[in-house]
Amino acid sequence: MEDKNLDKLFDKLRSDFDCEEPSAGHQNRFLEKLNTSQQTVGLSQRTVFWQKPMNIAAAILVIGTLSIFMFPFEKPIEEQVAEISPEVSKTEFYFTSLIEQQIDKLEKENSPETKRLVEDAMLQLEKLEKNYTQLEDDLLNGGNSKLILSAMIKNFQTRIDLLQEVLDKIENIKQLPDYDKNTTI
């Protein structure tokens, strides 16, 4: 039944169909337009090809820039202190090298007889280091810089004195007449 309806529909519309042949040169004009449009499509495809990587690069650049402003890199405490007082960094370098030399001597003298003395000295040095770190923080937070700088130098001197005192005690222990390597203090 549907076939009959379709046939009737086509019979009615037959007069509306375009059954004429295209004019002369139609095929050449069509091919020319097709070639022109393919070249245009080719250019737009190249634009699309480069557009995606450029968009990605732009997004990375924007994210990188925003991250710098949102999460600024904080300088180490030593650099911040050096900006406030350049002399501190020079003094710190000098005292630190002296302290490291004395710690090396102390570790070489570490034996069963002096073990407790060395361990106690190292524990005291850790406390002084924590105290020094607190002094650096105080200096950065805008405390009385002259007073804090003086305390920082005093901290270094205290460490050096402590190490020297421990080394002297170790020398005294070694010189005792009943010094026996098998006994402990």
Q: What is the model's pLDDT at position 105?
A: 87
Q: What is the model's pLDDT at position 78?
A: 63
Q: Global pTM?
A: 0.52
Most confident of 60-74, 131-145, 153-167: 153-167
Residue 141: closest CA among 77, 73, 70: 77
| Local confidence band at 81 (pLDDT 50, 70, 90 cut-offs) | low
Give helix 115-140 / helix 86-108 axis angle, nearest 10°: 170
Q: What is the model's pLDDT at position 74?
A: 61
- Is 170 in contact with 109 (CB distance < 8 Å)? yes
In order of 48, 51, 95, 108, the CA distances from 58 in angstroms are 15, 10, 49, 59
- Is 111 in contact with 172 (CB distance < 8 Å)? no
Which residues 6+ apart lie within 8 Å of 163 measured at CB? Answer: 99, 102, 103, 105, 106, 121, 125
